[in-house]
Structures are given as structure tokens and as C-alpha cells.
Copies of this chain bind each other. A is one copy, B any other.
């Protein structure tokens, strides 16, 4: 596997920098050979001043795509060599306007041929690669701006995690997990009620035998059960989504969503027209998930067997 080649992209910057640094060193030699007191580092700023006239520091920085301290440094060096002069902008005293000195301007005609030589050499060098480096870099920067690398990574992580989970139908092996997962979250905020115990301890008789269904979210690799949900069939074809729970350590795997989607798919397959659920307004993340799945708030059912429920939602599958 050549992950290192792909991830090597991250090291690409250093490598290209090293390459350009060695080119810069050669460039320095050329100026020296031409008897010019000039270094490649100054080029962009110098050239900018030569062609755009006097300009304040940050404007140069922005146009060249470097930070203003860098321009400042370069300007200081060029100043020390008498190539630029600066003065405060009288109309805005924050601005320090840089300009080429007489010496600087006089140097242009000596520099130009050297630049031409370098340009010719560079073009020859790059001709083989047949790539417009600048365009490519700009595109990459743009596509990073569009969706940042960090977001892309997070998206990739999410996708990977989803692939790590499988949603499976009820299996008696996991009866205990069904109980545990639900007890775990209920007890952190509420108390277990009589109705809870009855259903959680006897899913086969209380849910499946009545025409309902139970699903588990299982971690493919470890086989661990990380979440559950059930579709409960009541009287008069009244269907409810109940007992949704996810292990707290398994957050971030979109397990609730996957379970919900599995349940809804089954509901559609059966031609059920409405699925209800009851929950509590304190459970904000859960409420968000239910809304994401398409559930809407409806008036509370006064006959609910659960004390903790103060919110009722419904999903129409017309």
C-alpha cells in the first residue's frame, strides 16, 4: 500500500520548497555574476514596485499573496541596500508607502536581462512537467476554500464509521444488550418504569410476537452491539418507534440515524402510514435526530404509560 505516497502530499510542500530554495540559491549566484547587489527574495516586491509604482506595505502583501511582516522584512533589507525609500501617506498616516529609490529605478535595466535569462531557464525546466503550477496551486487553494480539508476529513471519518456499523434484525443472543443499552441511558436522566422492564426483559413476547420488530447496530469488526431500536405494533395498527438507545461511547457513528432509517424502511415496506414516538423535551440531540428523520410534533397522548414522556411526534409515510 502506498499510503505514504498519498499522504506524502503533506510533505510535498517541503519538497517543493526545497526545490525552489535551491533554484533561489542559483538565482542569487546569477545576480552576483552579473555584478548586481540583489537577491531573488527581493524580486516579487521589487518587481511590484517597479510596475505598480509606490504602494503601502499591506497592499503589496495582499497582491503578492504573502504576509505583511514578510514584505516588511524584505523592504527593510532593500532599504538597507538603498533600493527603496518610504514615507507616510499624508492622507492616512497609518500607511507607509514604499517606492523604489533612484538607485532602485536605475537598477531595473540591469536586472531585466537577468530576469529574462531566469525566465527562459525556468520555462525550459518546467516545459517537461507541462504543468501550470500556479494554476494548479490556485485551484487547490480554491477547492480547499470551498470545503476545507478539515471538513473533508470529518466527512471521510463519518463515512468510514458508518461503514463500520451494520444494522441487524433481532437475535436472542443480544437480548441482554437490548436491556442494558436502554437501561443505561434511561437511568442517567430518569428512573426505570414498570413498563420499561416489562418490554426490555421480554422483547420476543412484548414486541416481536405482537407483530413488531427489533434492530441492533453491531460493530462489524468487534461484533459489539452499540445501539438498538424497536418498532412496536399496538392496537388498531398503531405503530411506534420505541426503545431507541445508543451506547454513549459509540457517539459519532450516526448509529441512531442508521437505526431510524432501517426502521422507516421497514415501515414503508409494510405500508404503514404513520409511525409515532414519545420522548422527553430534555433530550435535545434525540429530538434533532427525530426531526432529521422527518418526525413532526403532535399533541401528547394522555394515555401514555411513561411518566417521562412529554413530547409526541409522528412521521407520515403517505
Contact = CB atoms under 8 A, between A and B. Distances in A.
Interface in A1-34: 3-24, 26-27, 29-30
Number of this chain's copies in the assembly equals: 2
Interface in A45-75: 47-48, 51, 64-66
Contacts of A150: 26, 29-30
Interface in A97-125: 113-125
A160 to B, nearest CB: 6
Given A19-B137, A19-B140, A30-B150, A40 B10 contact: yes
- A interface secondary structure, majority: helix
Interface stretch (A126-134, A196-204, A223-231): A126-134
Given A121-B155, A140-B125, A153-B118, A113 B160 contact: yes
Contact of A6 (B20, B122, B160): B122
Contacts of A152: 120-121, 124-125
A114 B175 CA distance: 33
Given A48-B4, A131-B136, A156 B117 contact: yes
Interface residues of A, number: 73
Interface of A: 3-24, 26-27, 29-30, 40, 43-44, 47-48, 51, 64-66, 113-126, 128-129, 131, 133-134, 136-137, 139-144, 148-150, 152-157, 159-160
